[in-house]
């Protein structure tokens, strides 16, 4: 985040004192004495924040007029106004015109730094929120299977509520996507969405990441840190892979959820927050509680509405639609020409093993498009990653399955038919009609064949 701050004041002494205070806190101040100098500095390189005096002696425009120009060209740039002749009416007018704050001269450095910190933090959160809104348009659940249909219905029903939600599912199944969709459906959709990856946090940093800390807590020259709970105030906090959170921190999170407040490490003042918490996990939290690695009281606090994400293996009928969606998105992001996926390659995608779930499928489609090179012809089975082809066909390859070699023809044929039909049933989600149509059999004949082979449509 840029720490470039423009100071606009007609008094050189004030500019220099403010610049020195900001430099001591790690900011990078620039200075201007008149409106023309200020607008030139803004045009040359937009600062992260403007400190703007209202009365500028010898200037073509006063501070309020400069504020109008800045707001018109850079509506997201925070501006703090200050004046030695300020009145309540002046402050109100400045705020109404879009100033973030108003400080009356003379001011103490602590008051200035607090206003700067708040303005910079609010600006950062706004930018993050705009970015998330833009990215949220890309977050969607692809598919028409019953499993995905049920999941979409749950999101629509639960999203507008303020309930805490626990999303469970295998790695790569889209838990964060569901969390973002829940946030977008809620009344908090315009507020911050803050993610804390519990699995990626060092144990000694968990408390600081969540609650922040006061200046000097970790080192004498360390500035104040705003934690995730405070950044998410009014919005949604996602605790990603919450099972990896240390037990001691689990207790602190539980207290914060119960009391809706917390104390920053190194401080004494309690801070109230209004946060909706969504948690995700790829582990069985019941087993984690039995093993003593997860607090039972925290589990019941976050598990108000449980949502279980189905693994990709349970909705393979969605793979063609998902593959086409990922192909179009990858082509748009990379600038490569979009390619169709041939029937033989799509059949492999539907029958392959997906230990990395939807994320692995997305990465595979990206690999296919990149490796396909120039041209517009469909990608065939030859354009798939070798390990993917192997996982889809190994049970039907005589070289990989020594049983076929030792079997009489009749037994080998029966084994092949069982394996083949089981793969096709799996591919079409157990739908007998679609399976029969693809393999070229009458529906009743396929039923009889499945019964003979000891298979059922849900196999």
pLDDT computed for residue 137 by the predictor: 52
pLDDT computed for residue 263 by the predictor: 87
Q: State pLDDT tens for residues 255-303.
A: 888 988 888 888 888 888 899 999 999 999 999 999 999 999 999 999 9
Burial of 403 (0-12, 13-18, 19+ CB in 10 A): exposed
CA distance 242 to 141: 23
CA distance 276 to 45: 38
Of the candidates 438, 185, 437, the residue with the CA atom closest to the CA atom of residue 305: 185
pLDDT computed for residue 46 by the predictor: 85
CA distance 256 to 273: 9
What pLDDT band is residue 454 in, cutting at 50, 70 and 90? confident
Over 378-412, what HEC string results?
Answer: CECHHHCCHHHHHHHHHHHCCCCCCHHHHCCHHHH
- Which residues, in sequence order, are bridge partners of residue 225? 213
Span 138-310: which CATH code?
A: 3.40.50.300
Range with the poorest average pLDDT among 206-220, 294-308, 315-329, 438-452: 438-452
Backbone φ, ψ for residue 141 (5° rounding): -95, 120
CA distance 381 to 401: 21
Secondary structure tally for the chain: helices H, strands E: 20, 14
What pLDDT band is residue 171 in, cutting at 50, 70 and 90? very high
**Is 51 a residue whose pLDDT tops 90?**
yes
Q: Is 151 in contact with 115 (CB distance < 8 Å)?
A: no
Q: Give me the chain's average pLDDT, please.
A: 85
**Is 13 a residue whose pLDDT tops 70?**
yes
pLDDT computed for residue 403 by the predictor: 56
First to last CA, the chain: 53
pLDDT computed for residue 133 by the predictor: 57
What pLDDT band is residue 407 in, cutting at 50, 70 and 90? low
Which helix (DSSP H) or strand (DSSP E) does residue 332 occupy? helix 319-334
Look at the alpha carbons of 290, 296, 300, 302 in this order and tell me if their dihedral is positive or negative.
negative
pLDDT computed for residue 332 by the predictor: 86
Span 313-396: which CATH code?
A: 1.10.8.60
**Is 18 a residue whose pLDDT tops 90?**
yes
pLDDT computed for residue 399 by the predictor: 46
DSSP 406-457: HS-HHHHHHHHHHHHHHHHHHHTTT-HHHHHHHHT--HHHHHHHHHHHT--T
Which one is the CATH code of 4-122: 3.30.530.20, 3.30.365.10, 3.40.50.800, 3.40.50.2300? 3.40.50.2300
Task: Tell me the residue ranges of DSSP E strands in 294-406.
Answer: 305-308
* Max CA pair span of the chain: 103
Question: Average pLDDT in the 393-417 region?
Answer: 61
Question: Average pLDDT in the 444-452 region?
Answer: 79
Determine the distance from the C-alpha atom of residue 125 to the mean position of all C-alpha atoms in its chain, rounded to a whole number: 14
239 vs 332, more confident: 239
CA distance 239 to 257: 13
The C-alpha torsion from 286 through 290 and 295 to 297, rounded to 10°, is 70
User: What are the residue ranges spanned by the domains of the chain?
Assistant: 4-122, 138-310, 313-396, 403-453
pTM above 0.85, yes or no: no
Superfamily for the 403-453 domain: Homeodomain-like (1.10.10.60)
Q: What is the DSSP letter of 341?
A: B
Tell me if 313-396 shares its fold with 403-453: no
Q: How far is CA 80 from CA 57, 72, 233, in A?
A: 19, 16, 22
């Amino acid at each position: 985040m840029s720490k470039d701050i423009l100071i606009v004041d007609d008094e050189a002494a004030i500019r220099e004192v403010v610049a020195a205070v900001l430099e001591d806190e790690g900011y990078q101040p620039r200075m201007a004495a008149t409106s023309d100098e200020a607008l030139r500095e803004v045009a040359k390189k937009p600062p992260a924040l403007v400190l703007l005096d209202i009365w500028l002696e010898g200037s073509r425009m006063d501070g309020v007029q400069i504020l109008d120009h800045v707001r018109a060209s850079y509506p997201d740039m925070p501006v703090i106004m200050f004046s030695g002749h300020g009145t309540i009416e002046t402050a109100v007018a400045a705020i109404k015109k879009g100033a973030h704050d108003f400080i009356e001269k003379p001011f103490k450095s602590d008051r200035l730094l607090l206003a700067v910190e708040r303005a910079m933090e609010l600006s950062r959160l706004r930018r993050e929120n705009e970015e998330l809104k833009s990215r949220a348009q890309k977050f969607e659940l692809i598919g028409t299977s019953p499993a995905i249909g049920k999941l979409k219905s749950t999101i629509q029903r639960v999203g507008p509520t303020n309930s805490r939600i626990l999303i469970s599912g295998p790695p790569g199944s889209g838990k964060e996507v569901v969390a973002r969709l829940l946030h977008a459906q809620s009344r908090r959709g315009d507020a911050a969405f803050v993610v804390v990856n519990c699995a990626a946090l060092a144990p000694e940093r968990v408390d600081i990441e969540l609650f922040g800390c006061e200046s000097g807590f970790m080192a004498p020259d360390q500035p104040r840190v705003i934690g995730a709970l405070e950044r998410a105030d009014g919005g949604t906090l996602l605790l990603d892979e919450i099972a990896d959170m240390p037990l001691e921190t689990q207790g602190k999170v539980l207290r914060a959820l119960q009391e809706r407040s917390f104390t920053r490490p190194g401080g004494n003042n309690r801070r109230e927050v209004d946060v909706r918490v969504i948690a995700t996990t790829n582990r069985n939290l019941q087993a984690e509680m039995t093993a003593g690695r997860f607090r039972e009281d925290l589990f019941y606090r976050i598990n108000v509405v449980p949502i279980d994400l189905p693994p990709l293996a349970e909705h393979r009928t969605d793979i063609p639609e998902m593959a086409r969606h990922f192909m179009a998105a990858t082509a748009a992001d990379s600038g490569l020409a979009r390619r169709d996926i041939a029937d033989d390659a799509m059949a492999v995608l539907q029958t392959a093993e997906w230990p990395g779930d939807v994320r692995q499928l997305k990465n595979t489609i990206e690999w296919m498009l990149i490796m396909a090179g120039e041209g517009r012809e469909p990608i065939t089975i030859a354009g798939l990653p070798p390990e993917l082809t192997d996982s889809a066909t190994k049970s039907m390859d005589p070289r990989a399955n020594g049983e076929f070699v030792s079997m009489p023809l009749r037994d080998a044929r029966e084994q092949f038919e069982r394996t083949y039909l089981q793969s096709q049933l799996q591919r079409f989600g157990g739908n007998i009609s679609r399976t029969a149509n693809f393999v070229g059999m009458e529906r009743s004949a396929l039923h009889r064949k499945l019964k003979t082979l000891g298979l059922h449509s849900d196999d």
